[in-house]
Amino acid sequence: MARRGAPVDVVGVGRTFALGGGEVEALRGFDMHVPAGGFNALIGPSGCGKSTALRLVAGLDVPDEGTIDMDGASPDQMRRGRRIGVAFQDPSLLPWRTVSTNIRLALELVGRRHDTAAVSDLIELVGLQGFEKARPAQLSGGMRQRVAIARSLVTEPDLLLLDEPFGALDALTRQQLNDELQRIWTARGTTTILVTHSIPEAVYVADEVLVMSPRPGRVVAHHAIDFERPRTRELLLTDEFHAKVEAVSGSLHRSEGQVVRLEADDS
């Protein structure tokens, strides 16, 4: 498998927001290491700072303390080098563009607007053939998510950041997209960080699952996931899989200090 992409080293990061006169400390002492070509999942209670952490790694925001390093480059340098792809929970497509021109937007922004082959490859990869000319309003929620993922991939970034990209979807579509995500990642080997609310999803797709504490968020548990790849849906039924899910859920439970339900659709 062609491993490509940048390793990510986050050390002692803190971020505090001003909020209506008061302050909200979103992250404190947040550490994370993702090897080059690795696939990490970030999980934690709502409001614990997952999105904040991802935005910091994407160079969309700056930490108040701590360092983020990617093979010698800062997030801002990575961003300016256009080496990052992001997809958020809200697919954030341009409503006035079609599926293919939405994907092409990323290419236009990195100065490769004529790379039509890349666009059609990605459309095929995410299974949207025949919908090239459709506009976002004419797509289902899952299709829109796939467009957003295709857009984040089309520039062949060295780092892929996914913030609950499947958050609003039903369990079945979600499982399909997890399979696709795994396939794409296996094919491209891009360093990937996935934020999710779903423990089974994290265990299913990632190399390592990081569990965060409630706000101020930091990583309190690491779970290496070494199931064979490609992982298939049969895996979901195995005892080993359930044991992992239990283990992660136990960490989350301890971190939250409250009972956590195990359903996949707990978002």
Partner 1 sequence: MDRVPPRVLSAAVGLIVLALWELLARTVYAGSYRLSPPTAVVVDFFEFRDLYLRNLWHSTKTAAWGFLWGNLAAIALAGVASIIPVLRRSIGAIALTIFCLPFIAVAPILRLITGPGNGTPIALSALAVVFTTYVAALLGFDLAPGSALDVVRSYGRGRFAAFRRVRLRASVPAMIAGLQIAAPAAFLGAVVGEFTGARSGLGILTVRALGSLNTDRIWVIALLSTIVATGGYMAIGALGRYLCPWSPALDLGAVPTPRQEPGLVNRLVALLAPILVVFVFWYAFLWVFQIKPFFAKTPFDVWAELFTNADAAETRSSVFGALGTTLWTTSLGYVAGLVGAMVTAVVFILVPWLERSLMPLAVALRSIPIIVTTPVIILFVGRGLLTTTAIVAVMSFFPTLVNCYAAMRRTPEGILDVLKSYDARSVANVRNAYLPSAVPALLASARIAVPTSLLGATVAEWLATGDGIGAVMVIAFTRNDYNVLWVSVAVLTLVAVVGYWLVAAVELRALERMAPGVSR
Report if residue 120 touches ligand ATP, rule: CB under 6 A: no
Two tokens at 222? 């690491």
**199 within 8 A of 263, measured Cβ to Cβ:** no
Shortest approach of partner 1 to residue 245 CB, angstroms? 30
**86 within 8 A of 152, measured Cβ to Cβ:** yes
Binding segment (CB under 6 A) for ligand ATP, from list 3-11, 16-24, 99-107, 186-194: 16-24
193-to-17, 24, 105, 128, 180 alpha-carbon distances in Å: 23, 24, 22, 24, 16
Burial class (CB in 10 A: 0-12, 13-18, 19+), 132: middle
Cα R_g (the chain), whole angstroms: 18
Report if residue 155 touches partner 1, rule: CB under 8 A: yes
Closest CA to 85 of 184, 19, 18: 184
Closest CA to 181 of 121, 222, 234, 231: 231
Span 191-220, contacts to Mg ion by CB under 5 A: none
Q: What mask of x and - would describe binding to ligand ATP in positions 19 to 58, judged by CB under 6 A?
A: x----x-x-----------------x-xxxxxxx------
Applying CB under 5 A, among 9, 33, 51, 189 the residue interacting with Mg ion is 51
Applying CB under 8 A, among 92, 140, 232, 238 the residue interacting with partner 1 is 92
The entry of ligand ATP, partner 1, Mg ion, none that residue 46 binds, CB within 5 to 8 Å by partner kind: ligand ATP
The HSE-up count of residue 3 (CA atoms within 13 Å, CB side) is 8
Report if residue 112 touches partner 1, rule: CB under 8 A: no
Per rule CB under 6 A, count of chain residues that contact ligand ATP: 13
Span 68-87, contacts to partner 1 by CB under 8 A: 79-80, 82, 84-86
Report if residue 109 touches partner 1, rule: CB under 8 A: yes
Report if residue 177 touches ligand ATP, rule: CB under 6 A: no
For residues 207 and 116, what is the distance between their CA atoms, to the nearest angstrom?
32
Residues that bind ligand ATP (CB under 6 A): 17, 19, 24, 26, 44, 46-52, 215
Residues that bind Mg ion (CB under 5 A): 51
